[in-house]
Amino acid sequence: MAILERGGSNQKMRAWHGDIPITNHYTAGVGGERFFRELKENGRIVGGVCPACRETILPPRLFCERCFETIQELRPVPLPGWIGSVTRVHVDLDGRRLARPEWIAFVEFEGVRGGLIHRLEVAGDETPEIGDPVQPVFRPAAERQGGILDILHFRTDLGD
């Protein structure tokens, strides 16, 4: 029964007694949905292209945040990318010490506004630096689920 049907007023309501049955489902939005579909189906990273600014934006969005134009076109980002920022993580999200520290990087791409934050695999005892080139490593096609973890990590060793 709605608030007003109970004889109340939403202006005077201070508390609701009883249960409020709420279900939710997080969605990535229109831009995110198209981005994740490209990861899953084609194993490629795409950005949204603003029809007015002609900028490529990553991750793709429904509209350009500079000029508010609707974004329809997707374009693969040029590879390799490079490290825009990097940190070494010693504890997990629950505060437990990791058996082996992980590198996390903000990866940028030529001609693209934005980028991706993801795991970084480095060769040996290498210490990654800002500006180092990186390449995405994707899950095998049969194992992709349409999420950011369809990219296993970015790697710094571009030798092979």
Positive or negative, the CA dihedral 53, 56, 59, 62 is positive
Q: Structure tokens of 38?
A: 């490209």
Q: Please write the tens of the pLDDT for every residue from 129-154.
A: 999 999 999 999 999 999 999 999 99
| One-letter amino acid of 66 | R
Q: What is the mean pLDDT of residues 31-41?
A: 93
Indicate if the pLDDT at residue 25 is higher than 80. Answer: no
| Least confident segment among 25-34, 40-49, 84-93, 145-154 | 25-34
Whether pTM exceeds 0.85: no
Cα–Cα distance for residue pair 22/117, rounded to 1 Å: 31
The per-residue pLDDT of the chain, averaged, comes to: 89
CA distance 102 to 67: 38
Lowest-confidence segment of 11-20, 45-54, 145-154 by average pLDDT: 11-20
Domain 29-155 has CATH 1.10.10.10: no
